[in-house]
Structure 1
């Protein structure tokens, strides 16, 4: 199992708009392709205006196939510009669980 952690720094003040768009449209599209959502968060203390979401995959090949399917979906391609306009920076990490992780 691998975990993908995506962190988006949003334009100041746009977190509520981003969360609303994802809740109403985006998350259903993503879940349909990406599968197991571990969590979807926004920052409240520390670096503000950040969104972090974590997805679980069986491996890198599974992730690549699922992301390719998402990126080929016309509904996702129509939705994407709505949130891209709110995002300043993006960071992506692949996390591997330790043997003692509860998510291993």
Structure 2
């Protein structure tokens, strides 16, 4: 199992609009292609205007196939520019759990 942690820094003031868009239009579409959502978070203390979401995949090949299917979906192609307008920076990490991790 691998985990993908995606971190987005939103433009100041865009948090409510971003969360509304994802809840109303995006998360169902993402889950239908990407599968296992581990968590979706936003910051309140520390670095502000930050979104972190974590997805679980069987392997890097599984992740590639699922993300390619999402990118090819016309509904995602119509939706993505809406949230991209809210995002200032994006960071992506692939994480492997340690043997003793509860998510291993």
- TM class, shorter-length: over 0.9
After TM superposition, give the deviation of residue 23 of structure 1 in Å: 0.2
Q: Which residue of 2 is the match for residue 55 of structure 1?
A: 55
Which stretches in structure 1 are left out of the alignment for 5+ residues? none
Which stretches in structure 2 are left out of the alignment for 5+ residues? none
Q: Which residue of 2 is the match for residue 15 of structure 1?
A: 15
Which secondary structure does the structure 1 equivalent of 2:13 belong to? coil
Q: Provide the rounded CA distance (Å) in 2 between the counterparts of 1:36 and 1:67.
A: 12
TM-score, normalising length: structure 1: 0.99
TM-score, normalising length: structure 2: 0.99
After TM superposition, give the deviation of residue 13 of structure 1 in Å: 1.0
Q: Give the ranges of 4+ consecutive aligned residues of structure 1 lying more than 6 Å apart after TM superposition.
A: none
C-alpha RMSD of the superposition: 0.3
Q: How many residues align?
A: 104
1:19-68: per-residue Cα shift (whole Å, max 9, x none)? 00000000000000000000000000000000000000000000000000
Q: Which residue of 1 is the match for residue 40 of structure 2?
A: 40
